[in-house]
């Protein structure tokens, strides 16, 4: 799971991306000499106030920005909103400080006095942002049963005891006769949870019509029949990727069999039912209308197509060329799985897809840990494709796939060990094991049934760590690819081509200071360090490999553990000798200066 620093990085990225376009820098007397960092933190505090209202009241970002009242004479109230549906008047005191500092006692006393002034309708002491909301405020204060709700939004976990005492005293005073006021802290964990939960795929509750259908009631309910291709296309168009939430793949685009499916549904609609395998779907609950065996509507709760994404996607794309003939029908099976407590949904997905040509990476999509990482990364605007899809094939700076993440983690995440260390019990994880597999049998990295996948994607892995590892991997890979292209000698080219993962493991070994930072992007200073270390380590490793060139090529050298581990031992020994020499130089006394 993400560390506190990683959560702050994601929260800040989300606030900047989502709210800064609507939360401008304020230049006023007293701020003439403010730095951009000071203005940035001020905007982040106002953005945090808006997001606290958005999260508490389920508002869109623009509406939430309209609740900001922060500024001179704000009465300690950074945002204000009358939630008519919830019958509550929301006040926010926000403090964006990476240290996690909560609003101080002085801040809270100012807010308490501000709320009291509003209750007393002493509006003339407030700024324009609050006076512009007087109709809203007076309506709330004059509505029977309205609760006053004070939110403290900050990046820590707890407020101080004096703040707690003051707020409790204020609450108890207002609640003498009936519940009127309550206060809540919205710390880092709550803010982060809101951001991640927003990225969850929406559930699909819909209705479809089956023709020539039948069904069974035990041991679990299931129905099967024909759905018109046009109706299936409309379902895909309306619901998008949420319709395939339990599938191992999204639509892969116009590749191979998909082209044939599209051609058949348009040119031979009457034969499509016989020529296509059909689709399988699961639903939490299935309800039946009062139809007949020829035609009947079914209500489906939490529907997901688990097999047949290519058929469904191709039919949807085919409609772009015009309406599909009503003669085109598709066989569909829908199985009721309840709340899936027994994991039957995953079993159905696995079994039905093993009948088709699939890769090991496809089934990694069934790991709930991958969906958690996707949601975390989406908070910061990064798209993580852990299901194969047509969109995933396009390389983008703000997106990466599970396969690239696995290779990056294999090269970056583990320590290079000596043979002596590997004799210890329990045996420590060794980076060389991973880079050899990446070079020789890369598919083993994402095989859920293998021993490596769980080490690459442990339950505690954060999205920030994955994203930073991918950025580092890409940066080093570009350097090494450039080195390969610039070399004229055959041995040097082959070294940079086949030794790339091996070199990265040693760059990672010497770059914990860069790898362990919580930032998503690589700062210029990070890039300088990585570039320097990559070039230096490449030359050192090449020098160590030279005695082996007469006996073995670089492809064999880096894809076999029996060759790669002794090479790693030699490189580690050379690095240790370098470190001793550099330490001696640093400790050597400076030469005496002549008078």
pLDDT in tens, the chain (595 residues): 789 999 999 999 999 999 999 999 887 777 878 899 999 999 999 999 999 999 999 999 999 999 999 988 999 999 999 999 999 999 999 999 999 999 999 999 999 999 999 999 999 999 999 999 999 999 999 999 999 999 999 999 899 999 999 999 999 999 999 999 999 999 999 999 999 999 887 788 999 999 999 999 888 899 999 999 899 989 988 888 788 876 645 445 544 445 667 777 777 888 888 878 888 899 999 999 988 989 999 999 999 888 887 888 888 888 877 788 888 899 999 999 998 877 887 777 767 665 444 455 556 667 889 989 999 999 999 999 987 666 767 778 899 999 999 999 999 999 999 999 999 988 999 999 999 999 999 988 988 878 899 999 999 999 999 999 999 999 999 999 999 999 999 999 999 999 999 999 999 999 999 999 998 889 999 999 999 999 999 999 999 998 887 788 899 999 999 999 999 999 999 999 999 998 888 887 767 666 5
The verdict on 434 and 529 lying in the same domain is: yes
Please tell me whether residues 127 and 230 are part of one structural domain.
no
Boundary residue ending a domain (157, 173, 197): 197
What is residue 226's predicted lDDT score, i.e. its pLDDT?
93
User: Are 158 and 262 within one domain?
Assistant: no
Same domain, 193 and 214: no
Q: Which residue, 304, 444, 447, 313, is CA-closest to 367?
A: 447
Task: Flag whether 591 is in a domain.
Answer: no
34 with 116, same domain: the answer is: yes
* Residue 365 lies inside a defined structural domain of this protein: no
pTM score: 0.78
The last residue of a domain, from among 168, 197, 226: 197
Q: Is residue 364 part of a domain?
A: no
Say whether both 408 and 354 belong to one domain: no
Residues 342 and 245 in one domain: yes
Partners of residue 399 on adjacent β-strands: 383
Q: Point out the domain boundary residue: 173, 197, 221.
A: 197
Shared domain check, 390 and 315? no
What Å distances lie between residue 149 and 37, 60, 136, 180, 578, CA to CA?
31, 20, 15, 9, 63
Strands, E, within 365-423: which ranges? 383-385, 399-401
CA-CA distance, 446 to 454, in Å (whole number)? 9
Residue 244 is predicted with a pLDDT of 82
136 alpha carbon, distance to own chain's centre? 38
User: Does some domain include residue 589?
Assistant: no
Q: What's the domain range around 321?
A: 206-358
Residue 80 lies in a domain: yes
Domain identity same for 178 and 277: no
In a domain, 371, yes or no: no
Same domain, 457 and 566: yes
- Give CA 491 to chain center in angstroms: 41
The CB-based long-range contact list for 445-453 (8 Å cut-off, 24+ gap) reads 445/403, 445/406, 445/407, 445/410, 446/360, 446/361, 446/364, 446/402, 446/403, 446/406, 447/360, 448/360, 448/363, 448/364, 448/366, 448/367, 449/360, 452/410, 453/364, 453/406
Q: Around Cβ 482, how many Cβ atoms within 10 Å?
A: 11
Considering the domain architecture, whether residues 52 and 15 belong to the same structural domain is answered as: yes
Domain count, the chain: 3
CB 387 within 8 A of CB 248: yes
Predicted confidence at residue 321, as pLDDT, reads: 72
The answer to whether position 378 is within a domain reads no
Of 249, 436, 241, residue with least CA distance to 360: 249
225: phi then psi, degrees, rounded to nearest 5: 175, -160
Please indicate, yes or no, if residue 369 is contained in any of the structural domains.
no
161 and 210 housed in the same domain: no
């Amino acid at each position: 799971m993400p560390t506190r620093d990683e959560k702050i990085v994601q929260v800040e990225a989300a606030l900047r991306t989502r709210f800064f376009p609507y939360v401008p820098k304020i230049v006023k007397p007293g701020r003439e000499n403010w730095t951009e960092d000071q203005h940035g933190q001020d905007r982040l505090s106002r953005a945090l106030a808006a997001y606290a209202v958005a999260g508490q009241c389920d508002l869109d970002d623009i509406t939430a920005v309209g609740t900001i009242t922060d500024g001179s004479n704000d009465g300690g109230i950074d945002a204000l909103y009358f939630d008519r549906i919830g019958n509550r008047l929301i006040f926010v005191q926000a403090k964006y400080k990476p240290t996690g500092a909560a609003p101080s006692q002085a801040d809270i006393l100012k807010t308490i006095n501000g709320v009291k002034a509003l209750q007393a309708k002493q509006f003339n002491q407030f700024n324009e942002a609050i006076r512009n909301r007087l109709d809203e405020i007076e309506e709330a204060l004059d509505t029977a049963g309205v609760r006053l709700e004070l939110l403290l939004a900050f990046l820590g976990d707890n407020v101080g005891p004096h703040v707690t005492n003051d707020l409790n005293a204020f609450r108890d005073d207002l609640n003498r006769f009936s519940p009127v006021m309550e206060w809540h802290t919205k710390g880092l964990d709550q803010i982060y949870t809101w951001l991640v939960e927003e990225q969850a795929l929406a559930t699909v509750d819909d209705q479809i019509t089956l023709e020539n259908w039948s069904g069974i009631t035990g041991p679990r309910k299931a129905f099967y029949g024909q759905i018109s291709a046009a109706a299936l296309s409309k379902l895909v168009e309306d619901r998008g990727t949420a319709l395939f939430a339990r599938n191992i793949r999204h639509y892969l685009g116009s590749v191979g069999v998909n082209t044939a499916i599209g051609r058949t549904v348009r040119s031979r609609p009457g034969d499509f039912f016989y020529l296509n395998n059909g689709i399988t779907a699961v639903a939490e609950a299935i309800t039946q209308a009062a139809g007949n065996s020829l035609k009947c509507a079914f209500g489906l709760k939490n529907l997901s197509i688990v097999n047949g994404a290519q058929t469904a996607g191709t039919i949807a794309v085919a409609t772009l060329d015009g309406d599909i003939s009503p003669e085109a029908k598709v066989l569909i099976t829908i199985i009721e799985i309840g709340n899936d407590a027994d994991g039957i949904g995953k079993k159905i997905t696995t079994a039905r897809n093993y009948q088709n040509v699939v890769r090991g990476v496809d089934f990694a999509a069934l790991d709930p840990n991958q969906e958690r990482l996707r949601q975390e990364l989406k908070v910061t605007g990064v798209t993580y494709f852990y299901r194969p899809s047509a969109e995933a094939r396009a390389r983008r700076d703000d997106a990466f796939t599970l396969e690239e993440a696995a290779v990056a983690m294999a090269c970056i995440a583990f320590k290079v060990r000596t043979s002596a260390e590997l004799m210890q019990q329990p045996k420590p994880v060794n980076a060389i094991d991973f880079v050899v597999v990446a070079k020789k049998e890369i598919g083993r990295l994402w095989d859920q049934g293998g021993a490596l996948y769980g080490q690459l994607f442990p339950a505690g892995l954060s999205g920030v760590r994955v994203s930073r590892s991918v950025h580092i991997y890409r940066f080093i890979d570009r350097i090494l690819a450039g080195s390969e292209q610039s070399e004229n000698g055959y041995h040097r080219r082959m070294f940079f081509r086949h030794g790339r993962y091996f070199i990265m493991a040693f760059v990672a070994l010497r770059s914990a200071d860069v790898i362990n930072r919580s930032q998503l992007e690589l700062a210029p200073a990070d890039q300088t360090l990585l570039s320097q270390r990559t070039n230096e380590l490449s030359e050192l490793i090449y020098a160590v490999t030279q005695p082996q060139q007469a006996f073995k090529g670089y492809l064999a050298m880096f894809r076999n553990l029996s060759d790669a581990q002794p090479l790693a031992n030699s490189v580690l020994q050379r690095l240790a000798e370098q470190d001793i020499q550099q330490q001696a130089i640093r400790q050597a006394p400076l030469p005496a200066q002549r008078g």
